[in-house]
Amino acid sequence: MLTYITRRVLYSIPVLIISSFLSFTFVSLAGDPLGQLRLQPNLSILTLNNLKQQYHLDASIPAQYWYWVQDVFTHKLGISLVTLQPIWPDITRTLGHTLQIVLTAELLALVLGVVVGIFSAIRQYSFFDYWFTSFSFLGLAMPVFWLALLLQILFVDIYLKWHVRIFYTSGLNSRAGGSAFSLDRLQHIALPVITLMVISFALYSRYMRATMLDVLNSDYVRTARAKGLPEWRVVMGHVFRNALIPITTVSALNIGAVFGGAIITETIFTLDGIGYYFYGRLQALDVYAVMAYLLLTSVMIIVFNLIADILYGFLDPRIRYD
Amino acid sequence: MTELEHPGGPGSIEDRAGHESAAVAPVTQAVDGIVVGGEGAIADTTVAAGLEIQVRSQWSYARTRFLRHRLAMASLIVLVFVFAVGALANLVAPYSYATLDLANILHGPTTQGHHFFGTDEIGRDYFSRVIYGIRTSEEVGVFVAVLSSIIGLVVGAFAGYYGGWIDNILMRVTDLVLVLPALAILLTISALLGSGSQWRVSLILAAFFWTGLARIVRGVFLSLREKEYVEAAKAAGSGDIRIMFRHILPNTLGPIVVNGTLAVATAILTEAALSFLGFGIKPPLPSLGSLVVSGQSNPQQWWLTIFPGLTILVIVLCINFIGDGLRDALDPTQRRIRA
């Protein structure tokens, strides 16, 4: 197991290097890091050239990549050439906000998805099953941005009509510097969380239902029933535990999609999260900030892929790594 | 008659797959590698053990199962209608997508002047814009599905058939694409290149959509290349390419069709998201995603948000149902014909 993990970690390193090199090459070829600065009328050619030299922008792409990698490690992702500010503080601040929203949404989606999946499977084709199956199909077909917009419009309308504030539709707190764990924050992040939750929930409940049905029809479940176990023990002790294995993997592999969804959701609800940060930096064509985001999300996806693989071996003793 | 394999697990059910009637009577031995031939493959009745048994090919089973899948059939009808409207946008739409009518801005839905979906903030007929948006979406969806299927098929076929270092390289590339944060990279590419035509957006999307199919096809090829009929074809002097695409490929058609169908939906959703964020298809050509932006800037005009979004929802829902129906229909382990 340990050798397997080590090998997987070692294997992730070249993947990360190649993927970051590819995106770096593309981003620096297509976008001009100094493009925004060039637009400023009072900036002299001399300053530009100084900047160019200072940040090695006249070097070849592989050399630039090498300098960038050094910057990533020694200067915590380097500085943005658009704002001339370090990137790190922005990233840590926004990532914290995003994690709060994403983790809440994923946790709720997982718990609800698993519960609904179990009941849909043991009461297959019941009213409950049909209802949630339809809901999941709707959730999977729903464009995230449209759902976010509908929720936003709905709650703005409620406020305008009855002057009750149930949920806020933008920002993280009513006043700057508000607490991260307060009713006010909850009212702000509720709609983004619901938006992110719907799709994950639809996915997880479908998966859970399918695997539960699969396991329910297996031989050892028949054996368990035949030896006279009460139904709840069959379901909880034999079916549920085995049905959890695939959903663990699915939820770990879903991380990339969740971060993608966060870009859209945070942009619509103007939340100071990392997705919105990325979107803003992208519009400003801030090459190094964009690269920082891409690197960070790639690392996260790779780590979660690794976790998924390891968990899989841990949960399913039939899987042997060597 | 042909073998049809389930995507899951190499070698899992393949033996059952080819010989559908084996349980009833020793009918004709499945002749491997014969090209899928719709009607032609249906043999006449065979008399075995005093029973008349109609031998049906996998495809006639699949077709019957699909035709009896009510939800999938209903979705197919709706989707064909919606796509036909989109494809014939020039004929169907009462206005061009760019015709301004500044006297009638932000007009609610009405039958007057055929503004069924109202007008937007510069008086363009929203009904026409949604129809042209459907056209854009279906072009993107179908193009991405076809192109990514071809890429995935070729990559998976070569990796699975040759194995060794070819497999290694191709699968490492697949892994690489799989760990990229897709939406972020798509946004970055579109932002740096500027918004473009629907073809360029489709090309970029297709570059990310082939990985799933490549893995499935590789799995099937890995298990089938060891089969006797492949050996027989080799002995008969067939070249690699011929064996790959003529003998093994038909067995992967099921997963390809299902995957391709679902890829249309994913592509439409992704393109809509890109266009919504302003990094997709270049205005004034409407895309269902960029149309929702008018709804965002005019939240009081509900029709601007509802109609394009609902159109996406209906299209994607139909495609997903069809995909599910196809998956059930093409699953060779299902002998039962669904009521």
Q: Does A87 score more than 60 pLDDT?
A: yes
Residue B10 pLDDT more than 50? no
> Residue A300 and residue A306: Cα distance in Å, rounded?
10
Backbone angles phi, psi at A319, to 5 degrees: -80, 125
Exposure string over A51-67, b if 16+ CB within 10 A, otherwise e: beeebebeeeeeebbee
Cβ contacts of A242 within 8 Å, gap of 6 or more: A211, A215
Residue of chain B nearest A19, judged by CA positions: B176
Contact in structure between B6 and B13 (CB atoms under 8 Å): yes
CB atoms within 10 A of CB A187: 17
Query: What's the whole-number mean pLDDT along residues A45-64?
Result: 75
Q: Do the Cβ atoms of A149 and B192 come within 8 Å?
A: no
Measure CB to CB from residue A19 to each of B176, B289, B317 and give the nearest one.
B176
Question: How far, in Å, CA of A210 to CA of A206, rounded?
Answer: 6
Query: Which has the minimum average pLDDT: A170-179, A223-232, B185-194?
Result: A170-179
Q: Is residue B292 predicted with pLDDT exceeding 60?
A: yes
In this complex, which of B179, B273, B309 lies closest to A302 when CB atoms are compared? B179
Quick one: tokens of B197?
């035509």
A·B CB contacts under 8 A:
118
Taking residues B231-243, what's their average pLDDT?
Answer: 89
Mean of per-residue pLDDT scores for chain A: 84
Q: What is the ipTM of this complex?
A: 0.85
On the question of pLDDT at B169 being above 70, the answer is yes
Across B53-68, average pLDDT: 75
Q: Which two tokens stand for residue B131?
A: 């129809």
pLDDT at B16 over 80: no
Inter-chain CB proximity A143 and B292 less than 8 Å: yes
Q: Is the pLDDT of residue B39 over 50?
A: no
B181/A298 Cβ within 8 A:
yes
Q: Does B269 touch chain A if contact means CB atoms closer than 8 Å?
A: yes
Q: How far apart are CA A105 and CA A195, in angstroms?
A: 8
Nearest to residue B136, comparing CAs of B290, B319, B321, B278?
Answer: B290
Average pLDDT over residues B267-274: 91
Q: What are phi and psi of A170, to 5 degrees?
A: -155, 155
| A150 chain-B contacts, CB cut-off 8 A | 305, 309
Give residue B335's pLDDT: 53
CA B15 to chain centre: 28
CB B159 within 8 A of CB B221: yes
Q: Who wins on pLDDT, A77 or A215? A: A215
CA-to-CA distance for A102 and A295, rounded, in angstroms? 19
Contacts of B273 in chain A (CB under 8 A): 143-145, 264
Span A245-262, pLDDT tens digits? 888 888 888 888 888 888
Lowest model confidence (mean pLDDT) among A59-68, A218-227, B27-36: B27-36
**What pLDDT score does A76 carry?**
76
Return the pLDDT at A318: 75
Calculate mean pLDDT across residues A63-70. Answer: 82
Give the residue on A whose Cα is nearest the Cα of B300: A153
Cβ-defined contact of A143 to B272 (cutoff 8 Å):
yes
Of all residues in chain B, what percent carry a pLDDT higher than 90? Answer: 16
Max CA separation in chain B (angstroms): 80
- Is there a contact between A144 and B273 if contact means CB atoms under 8 Å apart? yes
| Among the partner residues B172, B179, B276, nearest to A145 by beta-carbon distance | B276
Contact B179 A298 (CB under 8 A): yes
Closest CA to B299 of B309, B286, B285: B309
Buried b / exposed e across A151-182, counting CB within 10 Å, b at 16+?
Answer: bbbebbeeeeeeeeeebbbeebbeeeeeeeee
Contacts of B179 in chain A (CB under 8 A): 15, 19, 256, 298, 301-302, 305
pLDDT value at residue A31 = 67
Q: How far apart are CA A215 and CA A213, in angstroms?
A: 5
What is d(CA B264, CA B147) in angstroms, rounded to the nearest whole number?
11
- Percentage of chain A lying above the pLDDT 70 cut: 94
Query: Which residue would you say has higher pLDDT here, A257 or A48?
Result: A257
Min Cα distance B207 → chain A (Å) is 14
C-beta atoms of B181 and A259 within 8 A: yes
pLDDT at A313 over 80: no
Smallest Cα distance from A10 to chain B, Å: 14
Q: Is the pLDDT of residue B146 over 90?
A: yes
What is the per-residue DSSP string for B37-104?
Answer: -GGGG---EEEETTEEEE---HHHHHHHHHHT-HHHHHHHHHHHHHHHHHHTHHHH-SS-TT---GGG
Q: What is the 3-state secondary structure (H, E, C) of B239-260?
A: CHHHHHHHHHHHHHHHHHHHHH
User: Which range is least confidently modeled, B108-122, B142-156, B266-280, B309-323?
Assistant: B108-122
Q: What's the half-sphere exposure (Cβ side, CA atoms, 13 Å) at A161?
A: 8
Give me the mean pLDDT over the A3-24 stretch. Answer: 84
Which among B179, B188, B189 has CB closest to A15? B179
Residue B146 contacts by C-beta under 8 Å, 6 or more apart in sequence?
B260
- Rounded to an integer, what distance in angstroms lies between the CA atom of residue B140 and that of residue B118? 26
Return the residue in A12, A133, A146, A301 with the most chain B beta carbons within 10 A, the one to mutate for interface testing.
Answer: A146
**Terminal CA-CA length for chain B:** 24
Cis amide linkage into residue B7, ω under 30° from 0: no
- CA–CA distance, B161 with A8 (Å, rounded to integer): 26
Q: Which residue has the tokens 């209608």?
A: B81
pLDDT > 90? residue B147: yes
